[in-house]
Structure 1
């Protein structure tokens, strides 16, 4: 297990390095326009050039990335905003809990509902199975923002059950926090649950056809016990992989959902800083996203290796 974990950690470090370096170079290539955006359109060419020099935008991108990376490794943080001069860590500290609230809630609901729906569809078949397939195709075909707008029109504006926009911290009010998360999380889950449930359904169906399942049933063991103790354990590996991929994909959905619901999370900050060319803030957001992806992949690999020892040697 130690060797397996070491290989995964090395892969994670390489992934973080590649993603951050490519992102930095792509954004940094727009140096002069970033300096003008910081100063405003009325700035003179001399002022723009001076500002570009001050921010280091006139230096080679790779050299600047190396300097940024060394500062990060030595504990110097990810820099300050070009526009407000505020530390990026401070800007993100109030937004990370918001995004994690949506993502973690969506992942938990997706995992539970996908497992239940997938198992029921595999065992019962018939209209339940056909309904799942239809729902999976529908969830993939309809964009998240369309689902979000429909939810707002029906449940926020029409029925007035939930707030249409905004976010309430859990420290302010637990009830209001749950209400502010209800529609955004639902919009994310609707797009994710179909594909994951399909994966669970497929793997459970395959396991149910195995000889050991027929043997257990022939011994008179109740079907529920067979499914709970044996089928689910053998089918959990592919389901976990699918769930891990969905978790990573959720961040793309959350970026859009935060814009629709005017939620001050990392997705909202990423969009605004990317449009303005605020390199330190963009890099902070990218680093956070890469960190989450690495952690999710690592946890998925460890869970899969625990369920299936053969994976450890792959």
Structure 2
């Protein structure tokens, strides 16, 4: 087990180093005159050159990268070129909002999807058909359209929940919960339908195995068969798809944060990328990569628990 974990941790470290490095090269290679964008079109050439030198943009690319990487290793992610806000401080205020949406959505989607997928696989019939129809609808519904409709229905026409904004959990659990109900619902619909389909397929495959028929012939109770044996065998596929949904939701949170004006990582990534704000972009990429690596590590540990053979891979 320790060797299994060591391999996963090592591969995660490689990703944490590689992905921000690639992002750095792409941003610098594709960036225009950032100093001019910061100072505006009325700035003189001398002012633009001085600002570029202040930011280190006149140095070789490898020197710029080495400087950023060295400071990042010490926990210094730099300062935003446009707002002068420390990147670490910007992440500290935005990461909790995004993680609140993604984590709550993942938990809710996992619970509902497992229940729906298990019921559809076990009872089949009309319940299975309903799940198929709901899955098609869930895939077809554009997320941004659903988010806008939720605002119209439950914030404007029926002012039950706030239309925009985010309340930190430190300001009260009730206020925090009300502020994320609509964005979580907008994210959860697609996640539930996709995950339920995968769970249904995994459970159906397990139910067709010979050892399941053997256990039934021995008189094991249905509850014990389903919850003790079938779900554990299907847990590998379920955990994998839940992990993928979590990672996908990090990207899907971008449109939700813009619709509901939530100050999260997705919103700041879109803005900073359009501006060419390299320190802020790299900060978001680095934090996101770390989150993804941690989630993948947790999923790998779960898969290793459900399927000991996976530890040898």
TMscore range, shorter length:
over 0.9
Find the counterpart in structure 1 of residue 135 from structure 2.
136
Find the counterpart in structure 1 of residue 15 from structure 2.
15
Find the counterpart in structure 2 of residue 6 from structure 1.
6
TM-score, normalisation: structure 1 = 0.96
Find the counterpart in structure 1 of residue 107 from structure 2.
108
Give the C-alpha shift of residue 140 in structure 1. Answer: 2.2
Query: For 1:78, what is the secondary structure of its paired residue?
Result: coil
Query: For 2:169, what is the secondary structure of its paired residue?
Result: coil
Counterparts of 1:43-192 in structure 2, within 5 Å, are: 43-73=43-73, 75-192=74-191
Find the counterpart in structure 1 of residue 297 from structure 2.
298
Give the C-alpha shift of residue 32 in structure 1. Answer: 4.8
Find the counterpart in structure 2 of residue 286 from structure 1.
285
Counterparts of 1:190-269 in structure 2, within 5 Å, are: 190-269=189-268
Query: For 1:306, what is the secondary structure of its paired residue?
Result: helix
Provide the C-alpha distance between the structure 2 equivalents of 1:223 and 1:128, rounded to a whole number of angstroms: 19
User: In terms of mean alpha carbon deviation, does 269-278 or 240-249 score higher?
Assistant: 269-278
Give the C-alpha shift of residue 274 in structure 1. Answer: 1.3
Gaps of 5+ in 1: none
Provide the C-alpha distance between the structure 2 equivalents of 1:161 and 1:208, rounded to a whole number of angstroms: 43
Provide the C-alpha distance between the structure 2 equivalents of 1:31 and 1:162, rounded to a whole number of angstroms: 41
Gaps of 5+ in 2: none
1:311 and 2:306 matched: no
Find the counterpart in structure 2 of residue 33 from structure 1.
33
Provide the C-alpha distance between the structure 2 equivalents of 1:71 and 1:254, rounded to a whole number of angstroms: 29
Provide the C-alpha distance between the structure 1 equivalents of 2:54 and 2:135, rounded to a whole number of angstroms: 52
User: In terms of mean alpha carbon deviation, does 173-182 or 233-242 score higher?
Assistant: 173-182
Distance 1:76 1:225, change over 3 A: closer
Contact 1:270 1:282 (C-alpha < 8 Å) held by counterparts: yes
Contact 1:136 1:195 (C-alpha < 8 Å) held by counterparts: yes
Query: For 2:167, what is the secondary structure of its paired residue?
Result: coil
Contact 1:38 1:83 (C-alpha < 8 Å) held by counterparts: yes
Query: For 1:226, what is the secondary structure of its paired residue?
Result: helix
Give the C-alpha shift of residue 150 in structure 1. Answer: 1.2
Deviations 1:245-269 (A, max 9, x none): 1110001111111001000111111
User: In terms of mean alpha carbon deviation, does 290-299 or 274-283 score higher?
Assistant: 274-283
Query: For 1:166, what is the secondary structure of its paired residue?
Result: coil
User: In terms of mean alpha carbon deviation, does 133-142 or 232-241 score higher?
Assistant: 133-142
Provide the C-alpha distance between the structure 2 equivalents of 1:255 and 1:60, rounded to a whole number of angstroms: 33
Provide the C-alpha distance between the structure 2 equivalents of 1:140 and 1:49, rounded to a whole number of angstroms: 50
Query: For 1:80, what is the secondary structure of its paired residue?
Result: coil
TM-score, normalisation: structure 2 = 0.96
Distance 1:33 1:134, change over 3 A: farther
Query: For 1:162, what is the secondary structure of its paired residue?
Result: coil
**Which stretches of structure 1, 4 residues or longer, exceed 4 Å deviation after superposition?**
none
Contact 1:89 1:284 (C-alpha < 8 Å) held by counterparts: yes
Query: For 1:29, what is the secondary structure of its paired residue?
Result: helix
How many residues are aligned here?
313
